[in-house]
């Protein structure tokens, strides 16, 4: 149980195009999902917190107009990288916090999406 999927697992796009990454909780409902970015050999950096039915909360320094987040349902959050540039190339990971779960505040992570912008 508590499986989170991401699609696509990897994507290559041209500079200037937009890319959408989906994060789905497969067997639970998630009121909150998180989007992280991880550069090679570095740690996970939280980009934004996605709450179902409301606007996402972005971390300082993250451009909300560039990284559009939509959490339209309790099982799906999407991250759209708009007008992608080579410096946006990275590994993007989502995590989900199950609805109603209070024990240990556990989050479940997706397998990540590798984005390469040419």
Interface residues toward another protein, by CB under 8 A: 32, 34, 38, 41-46, 49, 91, 93, 95, 97, 104-107, 109, 111-112
Handedness of CA 9, 89, 79, 101 (dihedral sign): positive
* Cβ closest to another protein, residue 75 vs residue 113: 113
> Distance (Å, rounded) from C-alpha 110 to C-alpha 94?
5
Percent of the chain that is helix, strand, coil (3-state, to 5):
5, 55, 45
* Cβ closest to another protein, residue 47 vs residue 84: 47
Quick one: DSSP state of residue 83?
S
CB of 61 to another protein, least distance (A): 14
* Cβ closest to another protein, residue 50 vs residue 78: 50
* Cβ closest to another protein, residue 3 vs residue 15: 3
CA 14 from centre of chain: 20
CB of 66 to another protein, least distance (A): 21
């Amino acid at each position: 149980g508590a499986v989170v999927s991401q699609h696509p697992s990897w994507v290559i796009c041209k500079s200037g195009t937009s890319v959408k990454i989906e994060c789905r909780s497969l067997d639970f409902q998630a009121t909150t999902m998180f989007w992280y970015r991880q550069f090679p050999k570095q740690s996970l950096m939280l980009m934004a917190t996605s709450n179902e039915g409301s606007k996402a909360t972005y971390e300082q320094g993250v451009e909300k107009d560039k990284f559009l987040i939509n959490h339209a349902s309790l099982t799906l959050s999407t991250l759209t990288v708009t007008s992608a540039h080579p410096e946006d190339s990275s590994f993007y990971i989502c995590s989900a916090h199950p609805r109603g779960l209070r024990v240990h505040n556990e989050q479940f992570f997706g397998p990540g999406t590798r984005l390469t912008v040419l």
